[in-house]
A and B are shown apart, each in its own frame.
Chain A
Amino acid sequence: MIEMGLDPDAIDDDDDTKTEILPEEEETVEDEEEEVEEEENAGEEDDEAPPPPPPEEPEEDEPEVIMPAISPSKAAVKIGGRPKKLVNSFNFSERAALTYNNPMRSQEVQTTPPPLATFSANVLQWVIYDAYQADYEAQQLEKELEKERKEKEKASTSRARPVRKAGKVQLSEAVQGRVLECWRVLERMINLNSYTEIAKDYRYWDDPSDEFRVEEGTLLPLWKFMYDKTKTHTVTDLDWNPYYYDLFTVCFGFFDFVKPINNGAVCLFTIKNPSFPDYICITDSAVMCADIHPKYCYMVVIGQYDGAVLVFNVQQSCKDPIFKSNNVTNKHRGIVWEIKWGPDLPDGELNFFSVSADGKVNNWVLMQNELMRLTIINLYLDQEAVAGPDGTKFRLKSCASCIKFHPDNPQIYLVGTEEGLIYKCSTQYSSLYLLTYKAHDLPISRMDFNRYNRDIFISASYDWRVKIWDDQRLEPLFSFDLGDRVGDVKWAPYSSTVFAAVTTEGKVYVFDLNINKYKPICVQAVVSKRRNKLTRLAFNPKLPIIIVGDDKGCVTTLKLSPNLRIPCKAPKKQQHLDQWTLQCMKLDKLLSLVREPVTLSLPSDTAGLEED
């Protein structure tokens, strides 16, 4: 820079080349500066050097003074010398590069055209005229309607009040009468809707896996029946209505005698309305059993925990019984365990039999306005009288726990006791047992006669066993151990060899002796083992379902899978035989395997004759 300031001419000379040789110039400048620095350093060194003799100093100064004068010329000489160096003053090479051209691509976008529609019309004077005419009429009509509406509104506001007042009175009257009936229908309809899926299952679902399992079947749980007020009760008895095949009676009482319950109920449920019982009879004592008259299906007789018996006509009223045993003089002195309607007396009076833990079997006749009691039998134990506390002799009685009448001969009946005995009795003899079976070791819970062969009956007991008996034979034909207390056992109405039992464990057992004489063909836990106990069971006489009751007041409906209800196939030679005969034959064939032959024939005699 100094140089440029000092030597403008030289710069002028270089002017045209200046821009292109800029790097060269800078070099020269640096060179100059270095030279200058060197000179200065030299000067400094001189200063630092041992002091020369003073006279020499002026000599040294002189060249310094001269220096500026010399330096421009020096620089000029130097620049003037450069052009030689700068022979290749245009020292650059030309290079070209081309960036990569992106490939072109065309893209088109088209908006959807605005939606169009076509419209056409013809304008004629008469068209215009008609249009006006029609419009005018419409307007006129609108006005009239408006007027009418206003009038109505006025009228309705003025009339509404008296109408409502009258309505309340009418409504309350109607509710007592026919509206109730309508509500029932409506309730059923709602239930039909809400339980469609179960109904479809019931109707159409047959366990398809049954085809592949030969000797097993399953139970499909369907509806569950509960009543809020009897949730804590135990189902103590179940029975289907003999007339309406969808209606069944449920008794609510208790079996856990450590925790007595003060009230009980009998509810009549229908499978068409699983949400609420159709009839509810609340009683002041736990209900232990009930029976519906086979002819008058609205007559329900109830046996209670306190020994009383009640007769309800559910058609008339569910609140008050039409007959009630006297609570002091005319009652059982123990729990009424089972109750059965008997055949009507010759005079047409209804009568029923009850068995109770007091060891009596009573016959009750419904007189004009009271119940007449007749003790048929006192179930004395077959042993010597024992001495009472005050020395009087006292004959021990057995406690009856169930009763079953012979289906064909109503004079004959069986009584099961808590001692495990089964007495076969006749209503004709009040102090005589026709037969005594030493059946079980613990109380007998229920018995049932076979539908096809009246000599065969079955008994269930709390000693875990189910036994099948033959009349006049003191040993059981079959005995099954179910591994827990058996609450109930019933023969199936559709087959002579099928029966079902429920155990406290919560399992339902279904046996078909024709298929397996030793094992059940279906064992299914229906309720949870810990919380619930199954108590009772009943086959529907018509439909392939059973109901089971548990100790939480819940009744479960179960559908029997096809393997559990196989009908009898007629043999080829005997196609004409009906199902009843076939079922009887099936059972007889089975029984012949277990029964001892009645008489032993002497084959030798006949053999001898043939030989001759």
Chain B
Amino acid sequence: MAEEPKPRENKEEKKMVYTYPLCRHSDMPEETKLEVMEYVVTACEKFTGNNEAAAKMIKEEMDKKYGPPFHVVVGEGFGFELSYELNNLLYMFFGGNLAICIWKC
């Protein structure tokens, strides 16, 4: 999670890479959202480099907490189009290169 200079772009002296969890889109209630983001951070930090395990952990956690069927996608590059139950979507970035999408349907 340390800030590292990006090697690709050297135009400016320092290209900062930000690693804090950044919520891109969510329609969850504010409290829920913060809680879920915390799970995501925990899971991704626990399984660095193992997206599948991280996703599995998040999904299980979510199912337990908010009732099944939750779906979780963790990855660096993907596209999606999904239907979700309202107030149950979170799309966030984390660690500078991970995108996590959680929804219930």
Contacts and interface: CB of A to CB of B under 8 A. Distances in A.
The yes or no verdict on A and B being binding partners is yes
Contact of A120 (B18, B22, B80, B93): B80
Given A119-B103, A121-B25, A125-B77, A131 B93 contact: yes
Interface string A396-432: 0000000000000000000000000000000000000
A237 to B, nearest CB: 74
Contacts of A98: none
Contacts of A135: 18, 22
A136 interface: yes
B84 A116 contact: yes
Nearest to A123: B99
Interface majority SS (helix, strand, loop, mixed), chain B = strand
A117 B84 CA distance: 5
Nearest to B85: A114
A117 B83 contact: yes
Interface core residue of A115, A118, A119 (most chain B CB under 10 Å): A119
Given A125-B77, A128-B99, A119 B22 contact: no
A369 interface: no
B58 to A, nearest CB: 16
Interface string A121-132: 111110011011
B50 interface: no
A142 B72 CA distance: 32
Interface in B13-41: 16-18, 22, 24-25, 27
Interface residues of A, number: 19
Interface residues of B, number: 29
Contact of B86 (A117, A131, A133): A117
A584 B74 CA distance: 100
A133 B16 CA distance: 9
Nearest to B95: A128
Interface string B86-105: 10010101001111010101
Contacts of A123: 75-80, 99, 101
A135 B91 CA distance: 15
B96 A132 contact: yes
Given A121-B80, A135-B22, A136-B18, A116 B93 contact: no
A116 B86 contact: yes
B96 to A, nearest CB: 7
A136 B14 CA distance: 14
B1 interface: no
Contacts of A114: 85-86
Interface of A: 114-125, 128-129, 131-133, 135-136
The 3 A-B residue pairs with the shortest CB-CB distance in the complex, in nearest-first order:
A120-B81, A123-B99, A132-B18
8 contacts: A114-B86, A119-B81, A119-B91, A119-B103, A123-B76, A128-B98, A132-B17, A132-B18
Given A117-B89, A120-B79, A121-B91, 19 more contacts: A114-B85, A116-B84, A116-B105, A117-B27, A119-B82, A120-B81, A121-B25, A121-B101, A122-B80, A123-B75, A123-B101, A124-B77, A128-B96, A128-B98, A128-B99, A131-B93, A132-B22, A132-B93, A135-B22
